[in-house]
């Protein structure tokens, strides 16, 4: 493994999705080296208490490490202003993060088609075990993906959160079968996250 990549991974904050995020870092390096990329995440840090580093959108903190190292830009989209304020408190104002207060589907539909997304991380609409919202969360994730398909290239990677078993129960129940039907392939499944790309 590249020494700089090893150092970046060792300095990355530990989260509940740590192994999955390390795999993402390795894939980003394999595909883009340390060149600037565009990262889009839906759902940002939602709770700043240290105990919540094991979940609640703490992927944002991992992506900022990559962005600083590579001069990349993160679009962190959340429909809840309180969540965005929490993210700003944890990460701070940064030239590497564009905090976006918007409905994620609407924003992604209007995301400029000339901007290519290299890492797409879908982690909005948590249903917290509420069976009544489970289907709505899965539909929401599918719509998010479809809204920005135009911005994804074969080399892009898409990370889906809250996937609980090999039958894709959770938010990926609709988006994963859709993506597989469009030629995307699963390249990693751990820590309740699925990583997909068209190129292995």
Return d(Cα 114, Cα 117) in angstroms, integer.
10
Q: How much is the pLDDT for 6?
A: 86
Give the tokens for residue 119.
């890492």
pLDDT in tens, the chain (200 residues): 788 888 877 776 666 677 888 899 999 999 999 999 999 999 987 776 665 555 545 788 889 999 999 999 999 999 999 999 998 988 888 999 999 999 999 999 999 999 999 999 999 988 767 777 888 999 999 999 999 999 999 999 999 998 888 888 889 999 999 999 999 999 999 988 999 999 98
Q: What is the CATH number of the domain that holds 8?
A: 3.40.50.150
Contact 27, 64 (CB under 8 A): no
For residue 59, give Cα distances in angstroms to 14, 39, 44, 160.
10, 11, 7, 11
Domain around 22:
3-197
Q: Rounded CA gap, 53 and 78, in Å?
A: 18
Question: Do 24 and 65 touch, CB atoms closer than 8 A?
Answer: no
Q: Which residue has the tokens 């990370």?
A: 159
Please state the domain count of the chain: 1
For the chain, the DSSP string reads --HHHHHHHHHSPP-TTHHHHHHHHHHHHHHHTTS--EEEEES-----SGGGGGSTTTHHHHHHHHHHHHT-EEEEEES-HHHHHHHHHHH-S-TTEEEEES-HHHHHHTS-TTSPEEEEEE-----TT-HHHHHHHHHHHHHHHHHTGGGEEEEEEEEEE-B-STT--BTTTTHHHHHHHTT-EEEEEETTEEEEES--
Read off the tokens for 56: 């609640």
Q: What is the pTM of this model?
A: 0.92
């Amino acid at each position: 493994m590249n020494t700089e990549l090893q150092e970046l991974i060792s300095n990355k904050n530990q989260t509940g999705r740590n192994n999955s995020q390390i795999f993402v870092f390795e894939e980003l390096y394999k595909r883009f080296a340390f060149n600037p990329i565009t990262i889009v995440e839906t759902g940002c840090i939602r709770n700043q208490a240290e105990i919540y580093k094991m979940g609640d959108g703490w992927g944002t903190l991992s992506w900022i490490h990559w962005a600083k190292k590579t001069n990349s830009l993160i679009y962190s989209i959340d429909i809840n202003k309180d969540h965005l304020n929490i993210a700003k408190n944890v990460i701070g104002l940064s030239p590497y993060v564009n905090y976006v207060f918007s409905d994620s589907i609407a924003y992604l539909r209007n995301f400029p088609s000339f901007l290519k997304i290299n890492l797409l991380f879908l982690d909005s609409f948590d249903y917290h075990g509420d069976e009544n919202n489970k289907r709505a969360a899965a539909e929401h994730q599918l719509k998010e993906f479809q809204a920005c398909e135009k911005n994804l290239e074969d080399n892009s990677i898409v990370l889906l959160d809250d996937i609980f078993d090999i039958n894709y129960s959770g938010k990926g129940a609709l988006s994963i079968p859709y993506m597989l039907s469009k030629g995307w392939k699963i390249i990693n499944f751990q820590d309740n996250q699925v990583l997909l790309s068209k190129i292995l």
